Structure 1
Amino acid sequence: MTRIRAFLGRKTAQFGLLAVALVAISGLVVVNGDLAQARANDRAVTTTYLLRGKGPVTNQSDQLYVTSGTQATCKKGKKYLLTATWYARNVTKTSAYIDKVVVRYSAGIKGKSVFLAKGELYDASGKNYWGAGTADHVKISGGRSLTVTHHIRKTVSFAKGPVTFKRYATVGGTGQEAVWCHGPAALQIQLRPSR
């Protein structure tokens, strides 16, 4: 009888460890589900269509943003935002001359700064038309915006697909937030000619 109790005691202990492991795993699933929800609340990519013709053409993109979603430990709101106005001409089905893009970058939450990093404009074949240098790496204080004119002055190709403007940043944190409330982010605009 003693051996049976000892055997059952070991099995109960093993089951207890298994139960703790399952609870821990399910906790991770909730956290990962919350992170997935945060991504679902973001609008990190948009498509902007340029009207075909000689131009000049001016077209504003939709606003892009990154949030903390439903994370209870993060400040609520749009933490990194971007809106771009494109100035182009000679827009055809396969190419366009991009004179410049005027971009408004914002750190949407007071107290959470955004640090702009690498930026690029490239086509579907990987050809790069513009890149943000180290002089373009700047800090935007929380609750403020910065408008920057990026002079492109090049003909871009739509032959293999859209032209992509992408800007990376690091979102700062506040002392009261968990570590997953800040970190890297990227927003991108896919540029296409009108149909």
Structure 2
Amino acid sequence: MQGVHIMFEKLTNPEERGQVGIGTLIVFIAMVLVAAIAAGVLISTAGQLQAQGEATGEDSQSQVSDTVTVVHSVGETDSNNTVTQLNLTVMRSPGASAIQLEEATIHYTSSSTSDTLVSSASGGTAPHFSVSNPVLTESGEESVITIDLTQTEFSGTATLEEGEEAELNIIDQSGATTVFVAQPPDGITADDNYVPV
């Protein structure tokens, strides 16, 4: 056929055909290796992200559920009808893990002072609180948190007059926060050694 050009050269040498096949095979193997390495990196990264996500979820859950509940609260008064000591009976909230009260901190804020209290077992010069039971492990188990409001370590006057409010943020070892507001009632008399707060 005249006027028709052959666009592809016919390979007549078998060695040239073999070289083309080997080159294709090498490229294919390289692509498989790259894909395998990329898949390994993706799987590893996915595993790390999953582990981080689970850890973050557990921490978030602890911060929400590992709180204490104040079931009873009283204040001890002095001859000036001023509350000088708080006694808070606390227990684990439903679904909470074991709570280490000696590792907790309490932010105490009133109209005259704002301080962070630590457990008396930890020592130091900060205002402190004491507990009757350092670890709440069982459901229904209670502990009494006692705060002496006359401590000289307070930055201001921590004692409470009639009707005066103080906010306590009880933060346990997981970061979970329980907010409690103490407020002595009006009409404290000299006969009142203890008043509800």
What TM-score bracket applies, with the shorter chain setting the length? 0.3 to 0.5
TM-score when normalising by structure 2 = 0.46
Higher strand share: 1
Higher helix share: 2
Larger radius of gyration: 2
